[in-house]
Amino acid sequence: MIIGAGGVGQVVAMKCAEQVNHFSEILLASRTKSKCEQIKEKVLAKYPNTEISTASLNADIVEDTIALVESFKPYLIINVALPYQDLAIMDACLATQTHYLDTANYEPKDVAKFEYSWQWAYHERFKDANIMALLGCGFDPGQTQIYTAHAAKHHFDEIHFLDIVDCNGGDHGKAFATNFNPEINIREITQPGRYFEEGNWQEVPAMSIHQPIFYPNIGERESYLLYHEELESLVKHFPTLRRARFWMTFGQEYLTHLRVLENVGMTSIQPVQHLGQDIVPLEFLKTLLPEPSSLGENYEGETSIGCYLSGIKDGQAKHYYIWNNCKHQDAYRDTLGQGVSYTTGLPATLGASLMAEGTWMQFGVWNCEQLNPDPFMAAVGQLGLPWQEEVLVQTPFLG
């Protein structure tokens, strides 16, 4: 059962249909059933024998989700709805003893803050119910954590420094558009930047630290330090980390638009009065921006996401880089989606496959880096996101 019918939901539905040995029957549910029907038509056009149905669901209402789950009886829910809904869907999974997977951690709707504490608190209840929750199984979070676990298992005795780097070198031809849900995207990048160093979290003004970083096949791009949720999980599960940071590229046109929107209050999540009604400016802005799932057809270029790691192996300093490049055109040919949706939806589908076959099945609430990375790393390239790795003489992040 897939909850969410945006760009990522479409990719997940297409990749689930591709893996009929793991996903014999699919239910796609969203608040707007017509979006589910559109995705269903695309799935059936490519995979005509797919058993796929649709349903209308407000996932904020736990009782409604429970009723739909009891009707369909899914083995697992893939949650690619809004992060605000994570806890409500997890509550429904507990009530119905259904396994759970998501791609982004919970955040309250009225506060632009995301952290894992709310979901980690479910661990014992999921364990006692004999069900599993896998958190943040997209790319970042998700595949970047699996890359780190792979590096820890095969390349390092201790990891000391981690820099996650994320570049979208593509062009969708729009003046201003976000590659995933605009509301979540803008909330994320307008928060203060945070990074972990020597046992403490350091906070800096949003977008105030930046530097050029070279990305394979793309070149050098200005990259901005952000706080990203996988940092919280990684520093917990790899306690030898002395510093962990996250970097993302933004074009100057995007930043100019964002700055203007911030200056006039359009990125605020606080309600304002308009013609006698309360509206949230950011929610209104979301309705004006292009739907991320609509960007795929004319998208050119590629993404490049990876991890730079430094540490110790056999008593010697070691520097290592692991990454994936994904062409938007390839993503569109495979799933009629764009590369950012593809790099999120494909790892979610693979994570669900590994849970379904028992390879990653363990009761409780888990992050991706806590599981054996080898089965994921062996399969993800064939599914569409091949990875590359390189041992470096030096790293651009230590100097």
| Domain boundary assignment for the chain | 2-135, 143-337+386-392
CA atoms lying within 13 Å on the CB side of residue 228:
26
Task: State the DSSP H helix or E strand holding residue 395, giving kind and residue range, or none if neither.
Answer: none
**Beta-sheet pairing, 132-135 with 364-367:** parallel
Which positions ≥6 away from 32 have C-beta within 8 Å?
Answer: 5, 56
- Predicted confidence at residue 295, as pLDDT, reads 62
- pLDDT value, residue 390: 97
Superfamily of domain 143-337+386-392 in CATH is Dihydrodipicolinate Reductase; domain 2 (3.30.360.10)
pLDDT of residue 145: 98
The string of pLDDT tens digits covering residues 299-331 is: 789 999 999 999 999 999 999 999 999 999 999
Distance CA 184, CA 215 (A): 25
- CATH topology for 2-135 is Rossmann fold (3.40.50)
Low-confidence ranges of the chain (pLDDT < 50): 399
Q: What is the pLDDT of residue 118?
A: 96
Q: What integer pLDDT is reported at residue 306 of this predicted model?
A: 97
- Note the pLDDT tens digit of each residue in 360-384: 999 999 999 999 999 999 999 999 9
CB-based contacts of 220, cutoff 8 Å, min separation 6: 212, 213, 214
The reply to whether 143-337+386-392 shares the fold of 2-135 is no
